[in-house]
Amino acid sequence: MRAQQFKQNFVAEQARLWGNDAAVQKQQIAQVQAKQAQQRADAQTAVSKGF
């Protein structure tokens, strides 16, 4: 959990520093968040199936 928060903060800071690339950064952040959401969904499915 801490690692995810750190990574989000790090990516957000990079986006702030490199403001001219903000659109690309936002797209990358969205991809990371979507991936994390999918991983959480997969983990929940595994738990409910008893793996």
Instruction: Measure Cα distances from 14 to 3, 18, 26, 36, 51 in Å.
Output: 16, 6, 11, 19, 38
pLDDT at 51: 63
Q: Any idea what DSSP says for residue 4?
A: H
Q: What is the mean pLDDT of the chain?
A: 81
pTM confidence score = 0.42
Which range, of 10-14, 26-30, 35-39, 42-46, averages the lowest pLDDT?
A: 42-46
Model confidence at 19: pLDDT above 80: no
Helix axes 22-49, 2-17, angle to 10 degrees: 170
Q: Is residue 8's pLDDT more than 70?
A: yes
pLDDT score for 28: 84
pLDDT in tens, 33-47: 888 888 888 887 777
